[in-house]
Chain A
Amino acid sequence: MSARKNRGTAAPQHLQALYKTMSLIRHVETALTRLFANSEVPGFIHLSIGQEAVAAGIASALQPQDSLATTHRGHGHVLARGMDVSGFMKEIMGREGGLCKGRGGSMHVADLSLGILGANGIVGAGIPIALGSAMAHQARKTGGVAVAFFGDGAMAEGVLHETLNMAALWKCPLLLVCENNGWSEFSPTSRQFAAKLEKLAAAFDVGYAKVDGNDVLAVADAAEGATARLRAGRGPFVLECMTTRVRGHFEGDAQKYRDTGELESVHEHDPLTAARGQLQAMGVDTTGMDQAIAAQVDAAVDAARADVLPVLEHAIQDVYTQTAQETGA
């Protein structure tokens, strides 16, 4: 695949682009930890700090016509896909200028113009939505693929099993990306799922690969290979990315259920530290890039703070395509 070839001469540029995406996600989510602690984010948020390599690697293999459905832990996926940072931040902070006008927040960020069919508050729910999107790509001959991001907690959801079956039957261009961080909310997945994803995929004769989800080049390589298969009409593919959840299930979760040693060691797997080290070895310094991203995120936070709050009279008009009067609501 092209990404693999790039490991030679063009690698610094490739890795730099991937690092830039990861750095954006990290800066946005780090800002969110502060904003949340300062009660500037309504509701609750689920952060993907430590898992940025999956988002950046997968997004690097996508084309404009592709689509994706993601999870409650989906900030990274939508930012990597190119969601406007200011519109994103306004949405998370519940402002009228948010991409979804403050109607959905963290768990429902979407940008249909980028093929982002939404984060989702229901575990596993994005998987069959992505299946339908893949079916539409197939029917409309868009050449596109659909990506379903899900966590290892969703392996126990029936819709994954149903989707694997249908995607296999109809050879849908569906990439099933499991971000396996070992945790199903507050429980280790080893206590919740009796099977292995590899065997589950094999049961439906669906292609499968496992990758170090904290190695962004490895994810990008695997994603490039998998999407090429999908675009060639060879049916769905499961990519299991082994990664690390640094923060709690939700922000504010003290994670008392995690072993202290395990929690202290999470930083050893940090995908940004690893990529930064690789870039330094290639003679690339990321300081300037990181500073520029930090400034971009600060500006987005300031813009969100300055934006107006949504009002109920406007919100109710988005329930149906017709106005409230027409629907008799």
Chain B
Amino acid sequence: MSTSTEMRYVNAVTRALHDSMEQDPAVVVMGEDVAHAGGSFKATRGLLDAFGAARVIDTPISESSITSAAVGMALTGLKPVVEIMFMDFITLSMDALVNQAAKARYMFGGQGSVSMVLRTPHGGGLSAGPQHSQCLEAWLAHVPGLKVVCPSTPQDAYSLLRASIADPDPVMFIEHKGMYASKGAVDTSLTARLGEARIARPGRDVTLVTYGATVPVCLKAADQLAKEGVDVEVVDLRSLQPWDKATVLESLSRTHRAVVVHEAVQAFGAGAEIVATIADEGFDELDAPVLRVAAPFMPAPFASSLEKGYVVTVERVIEAVRKTLA
């Protein structure tokens, strides 16, 4: 019997870690301040008490080597879940991710898999400034061998993290720090598959393709547009690598108009790949150019007044939808 509990996004992450650790003794959690402090955003709170210091490991501030160590652990029979405190810090982990984790299975001719998860929060809205606000997921989605997941609800934070930990390949699990406090129903018996999108809101007139923190922004825009008689469909991608091309193209075949929305910088972002795929494979379905709503080409700002203009707003999404209908 399925039971649903209201919980915060951050608690859904913790619950998923807890349940995976309980189910599989090979799962270990490691990162800076994840054990005694329970994580910078408290996503690992209580795990040390539940599973002990051998499985919940406080590491020094050595992002490069702890990520590489996770690769070595995975190749020696463990399933490490590494936390990198802010996504901006993965710059220091890039050799481990790009040259080691992503390529080991391929380079070794399929002898084994690097079954590891790197959890990290991206995103702005907290005046955290240029080095604590970035959305760098497109970098990772560009690397063959990595999987990239961006949950937008507490339910997905739970179900997709369980699926990511169970996955045999290296999964980059990207949480949004601005969403940690958001609440929603979580049914721990529900499973999810990486690479499967979700129709967050069905509609007939325009398809909004999005993921992560811009999902609720798009849903709000859809609600407002509904008042004007515009029926918007919102597709939450949930994973960027693999991404659910079929669901996007199927939605487009009904609406014939699309806008791609993400918080990351627009230029060379994930949206560019989605728009290019629509142009390649969905061209005949299009009644209007596909638009993008994303961040301008500049570092994430610090001052609140600047950040307001930087992040994707409901108004900007509505404006783009109207433009595709004009």
Contacts and interface: CB of A to CB of B under 8 A. Distances in A.
B72 A130 contact: yes
A135 B107 CA distance: 23
B109 interface: yes
Interface stretch (A40-48, A94-102, A227-235): A94-102
Contact of A328 (B107, B113, B244): B244
Interface in B206-253: 241-245
Contacts of A162: 60, 62, 64-65
A72 interface: no
A83 B69 CA distance: 24
Contacts of B145: 319-320
Interface in A113-171: 113, 115, 117-118, 120-122, 125, 127-137, 139-140, 146, 158-159, 162-163, 165-166, 169
Given A69-B72, A136-B77, A318-B106, A159 B242 contact: no
Nearest to B101: A129
Contacts of A163: 65, 69
Interface residues of B, number: 48
A204 to B, nearest CB: 11
A278 interface: no
A166 B69 contact: yes
A159 B64 contact: yes
Given A139-B54, A321-B169, A128 B72 contact: yes
Given A129-B69, A158-B64, A136 B110 contact: no
Contact of B99 (A113, A122, A128, A132): A122
Contacts of B36: none
Interface string B41-64: 000000000000011000110101
B105 A318 contact: yes
Interface string B94-134: 01100110011111111111000000000000000000000
Interface of A: 67, 69, 98-104, 108, 110-113, 115, 117-118, 120-122, 125, 127-137, 139-140, 146, 158-159, 162-163, 165-166, 169, 315, 317-322, 326-329
Interface of B: 28, 54-55, 59-60, 62, 64-66, 68-78, 80, 95-96, 99-100, 103-113, 144-145, 147, 167-169, 195, 241-245
The 3 closest A-B pairs by CB, nearest first: A132-B72, A132-B69, A128-B68
